Structure 1
C-alpha cells in the first residue's frame, strides 16, 4: 500500500510541461489542464495544455530531428530502446503508482502494465537490427533489383487513457527502431505517465526532437493542422471508431500512412465441451483486466446451454469475490472507472438490458460516494437487442446469453461491425479450428483469456481498424520500401 508521502514524491517528480525539441516548456498561451484521481474525484496536478501553435512547434521539432534519427546506426537505435527498457524496470514502482493515481487501476495491475509496456521496447530493440532489404536478378537477366527499407518519416501518435504507458510504447518503440521521429498526444485524462516516459527516453539518450509530447484538451484544434500540414507522413491512433474515421478522412488529404486500432465488441464463446473452470478463469482475465476498460475486453458472452448454468454460477461467484476500492489500497482487485461519463455509460447500459428483460445475477448498482466506481456485474437472459450487445461496455459487466448450437454462437459473434478479438473455449480441435477460421476478427483467444503480446501482431478487421502493431510485422508500418533498378551488362 502506498502512503501519501509516496504519492506526493512521485507526483512532484513528473514533468508537467510540453516536451518539444528535447525541452520542457509551458503552453504558448500559458494554459493548463487538471488531472484528476478517478478514485476520489480530486485534482492531482495540472499540466500544460497545448495550443495549436505548440502543435506546429512539435511538428517542426520532429521534422528537424528526422534526418538525425534516420541516420543513427540500427545498433545505436537498438541500444537506446534497450536502455529505456532497463530504466522502465528501475522506475517500475513509481510509474505503477503514478498510473494508478491518474487512471485508477490497482497498483499490481499497473506494475503488470509497466512490464508489458517495457517488452515493446525490448522487442523492437531486437527488430531494429533486423531491418532488411534485397538484391534480385530481373527475370530477363538484363537488370538487377535492389530494395532498400527506409523510415517512413515523422509519425503522429494519439493514444487512449486505458493503458497510458503500453499504448505509447507500442507505437513509439517501432518508430524509434525504424528511424522515425514522432509526436504523441496522450489522453487528457492520463498525461502524466507519458510525460514520465518521455523523460525515460531522454535519459536513455534519444536525440532531441525525436519524441515530442503535447498534452491537449482541444485535440482537434491542435492535431488537425499537424495532420494536414504534410511534413508528417504517418498517423497511428488508438481510440474510438468515430474519432478514427475522422482522422482517416483528414489523413487522406496528404495520403498519410495510417494505422488505426479502434473499437471492439469481443464475444466470449463457451461451447458445451469446454473445461468450465478454465473458461471461468479465462473470462475473469478477458472481462476484468483493467476493470473491463479495454478494447480487448469480453463484451458479449455466448454460452451453450449444456454448461450455461454451471458457467454462470461460477463466474458470478468469482466476480462477487472481487474487492472494489482505490487501487493503492491493499487487496483491491477493481479500481474506479475513468470518469463520471464512463461510469454513467455503464449504468445506462445495464439499466437498458434489465428493462429489456435481463436478470442481475450479481452487482448491477453503481456505488455511492466519491470516485467513479461500479461493482463487478453478471447479467443473464440478455436480449439480443440490448445496447450492451452492440456497444462497447468499457466496464466490469458480463452479459450472458444462452445459445443452443455452435452455429448460433458463431452467427451472434459475427453480428457486429467490429472485429478486433473473440474468445472461444472448447476441447475439440476440429471444432476449435472451424470456429476460429470463421470468426470475423483479427485475433482469437482459443482457450485463453489473454491475447496481447508484444511478439504477436495486434489489430482488427472491419471497423476495428487498419494495420497491425507488435510482432515481426509491427515495424513494417514504419518503413517504406524503395526499389533501385540497376543496369547490368555483365
Structure 2
C-alpha cells in the first residue's frame, strides 16, 4: 500500500489471507491489502470490554467527550487526502468524491461533538403542588452498527458520532468489501484519545455470524443498520427477541420529478448530481425519472447530452466522474435491468457500449413506462429510466407506488404546486429544486420499508439515549 504515506492509518493490516480478508480494488482487480478477522470469542470479549468501558465513558463530563470528538474530527480532516485515496482504492469512487465523503463524514463527528453538550432534560409542570417532575437523558449502553460499502467512512461516523457523544460505547462491523477505511478512521479516533474499548471495529468469519451476535447478545442495547430492506427486516426480527432498540436506513426507490414549469437546465444539473454520484450506488440516488409530457423531449435531450460528457474510469485518474461498480454480481444485476427494460420497449437515448471489468457506461432510457420492472427495483447503478406523466394526480400516484420511502426530488417554480407535492410525497426526505440533500444538520431517514429512526441533526443523538422520568414527592 505504497500510495498511503501515513502508515499509522494502516497499522491494523495483516500480512496475508490466512490472517484476514483480502480487499480488492474494483477498478483493477488488484488485492490492495488484508483486513483482520476476529474470532467469535474475540468479538464476545470485545462486547464485554465495551460494556465495562461504557460506564467510565458515560461518567466523563459531556464537555470532555466533546473535546475528544473534536480532536477526532480534526485528525480526519488533516488526513483527508490519505483517507480519500484509501477509499478510492478499495471502493472505486472518484478521488474528489472520496475526499468529499471524508469531509462529510467528519462533519458528523463535529456536529455531535457539539450536541454532546446539549442533551437537555425537561422540567414538567406538576399536577399537584407537592410534586416536582423532571426528565433526564441517559446513554443506552453498548451500541453496535453494521455499515455498507458505498460510503465506507460517512456511514460509520454518522452512527459512531452520536453514540459516543451520548455516552455509549460503539462496535461497528463494516462491509467486507471496504473495511480498510473503517479501520483507518478508527485509528484516528484512538490517536485523538478515544479508548479502544469504547470504539471497536470488527470483522467476523461471516456477516451472518456478526449479525447474529449483535442481535442476540444481552449486553448490546442498540443496533443501527444501513443496507437492504431484506436484511434489515431479518435483523429487526432477531433484535425483537430481547427488545433491542434499532435504527434502520434501508432501501430506496427515489423518484426525480420534472414538472412543466421547471427550470429544465437546473433540473438536468440536479439530475446528474443525484443520479450519477458514486456511479449511482447510493440509497438516495434518483432511481426513476418522471417528466411532464410537455417538457419530456427537451429534458431527455439535455439530460443525455450531459450524461455523455461524464468520464468513466479509475477513480485515481484525473477528470473521472464515474468509477467502477462494486462487484461483478452488481454489474450483472444492473445489466439485466437494462436488458429487461429494452425488451419491454424502452430505448437507450445514445448507443450502448459494453465496458471492460466492473466499469459501466452511464445510460439514459426513454419511453419507459411505469409498469416496467426497472421502475420498481432499486437499480444501484448508472442507469436513468425516464417516464412521461400528464398531470399532478397521476404523478403522485406513480411516485408513491413503491414499498420504499427514503428520498424524493422534484423541480417546479410554482409555489402552490411545491407545497402540494412536498406534502403528498410519501418519503422521509424531499429535495425541492435540489439534487443533493444530505447534510449533518438535517434528519436523514425514511418511511415505509425504507427504515425507522433518523440520523444527523438534533434527532440523531436521541437514537442512542433513553429518557428517564423523575417524580419528586413530599415537597
Give the whole-Å Cα distance in 2 for the aligned partners of 1:198 and 1:256: 25
Partner of 2:89: 101
For 2:374, what is the secondary structure of its paired residue? helix
Partner of 2:3: 6
Partner of 1:81: 69
Structure 1 residue aligned with 2:178, among 190, 193, 217?
A: 190
Partner of 1:390: 376
CA offset at residue 363 of structure 1?
A: 5.5
Provide structure 2 residue ranges, at least 5 long, that are not aligned to the other structure. Answer: none
Give the whole-Å Cα distance in 1 for the aligned partners of 2:402 and 2:8: 45
Matched, 1:402 2:399: no
User: Equivalent residues in 2 for 1:403-418 (5 A)?
Assistant: 403-418=389-404
Contact 1:65/1:208 (8 A) holds in 2: no
CA offset at residue 210 of structure 1?
A: 0.5
CA offset at residue 48 of structure 1?
A: 1.5
Contact 1:113/1:163 (8 A) holds in 2: yes
Give the whole-Å Cα distance in 2 for the aligned partners of 1:292 and 1:206: 35
Aligned residues: 475
For 1:374, what is the secondary structure of its paired residue? coil
CA offset at residue 59 of structure 1?
A: 1.0
Q: TM (normalized to structure 2)?
A: 0.97
Give the whole-Å Cα distance in 2 for the aligned partners of 1:163 and 1:106: 12
Give the whole-Å Cα distance in 1 for the aligned partners of 2:346 and 2:156: 38
Partner of 1:22: none
Partner of 2:454: 468
Partner of 2:273: 285
Give the whole-Å Cα distance in 1 for the aligned partners of 2:351 and 2:2: 34
Q: Per-residue displacement from partner, 1:396-429 (whole Å, max 9, x unpaired)?
A: 1110011111221111110000000110100000
Give the whole-Å Cα distance in 2 for the aligned partners of 1:280 and 1:349: 23
Give the whole-Å Cα distance in 2 for the aligned partners of 1:73 and 1:434: 46
Partner of 1:20: none
Structure 1 residue aligned with 2:466, among 466, 475, 480?
A: 480
Q: Which moves more between the two structures, 383-392 or 393-402?
A: 383-392
Change (3 A) 1:270 1:217: farther
Give the whole-Å Cα distance in 2 for the aligned partners of 1:57 and 1:283: 47
Contact 1:350/1:364 (8 A) holds in 2: no
CA offset at residue 366 of structure 1?
A: 3.3
Structure 1 residue aligned with 2:324, among 336, 341, 347?
A: 336
Structure 2 residue aligned with 1:202, among 190, 213, 224?
A: 190
Matched, 1:294 2:290: no
Partner of 1:21: none
Provide structure 1 residue ranges, at least 5 long, that are not aligned to the other structure. Answer: 18-24
CA offset at residue 385 of structure 1?
A: 2.7
Q: Per-residue displacement from partner, 1:85-138 (whole Å, max 9, x unpaired)?
A: 111111000000000000000001111101111110111111001111122341
Structure 1 residue aligned with 2:165, among 161, 177, 182?
A: 177
Give the whole-Å Cα distance in 2 for the aligned partners of 1:134 and 1:207: 31
Matched, 1:440 2:413: no
CA offset at residue 51 of structure 1?
A: 2.8
Structure 2 residue aligned with 1:376, among 353, 362, 368?
A: 362
CA offset at residue 212 of structure 1?
A: 0.8
Contact 1:30/1:48 (8 A) holds in 2: no
Contact 2:92/2:324 (8 A) holds in 1: yes
Structure 1 residue aligned with 2:248, among 260, 266, 271?
A: 260
User: Equivalent residues in 2 for 1:29-40 (5 A)?
Assistant: 31-40=19-28
Give the whole-Å Cα distance in 1 for the aligned partners of 2:6 and 2:387: 45
RMSD: 1.7
CA offset at residue 16 of structure 1?
A: 3.5
CA offset at residue 5 of structure 1?
A: 4.5
CA offset at residue 317 of structure 1?
A: 0.5
For 1:273, what is the secondary structure of its paired residue? coil
Runs of at least 4 residues of structure 1 off by over 3 A? Answer: 9-13, 363-366
Partner of 2:42: 54
Structure 2 residue aligned with 1:70, among 58, 78, 84?
A: 58
Partner of 1:229: 217
Change (3 A) 1:350 1:60: same
Contact 1:157/1:183 (8 A) holds in 2: yes
Change (3 A) 1:68 1:330: same
For 1:419, what is the secondary structure of its paired residue? coil
Give the whole-Å Cα distance in 2 for the aligned partners of 1:30 and 1:449: 44
Give the whole-Å Cα distance in 1 for the aligned partners of 2:351 and 2:429: 30
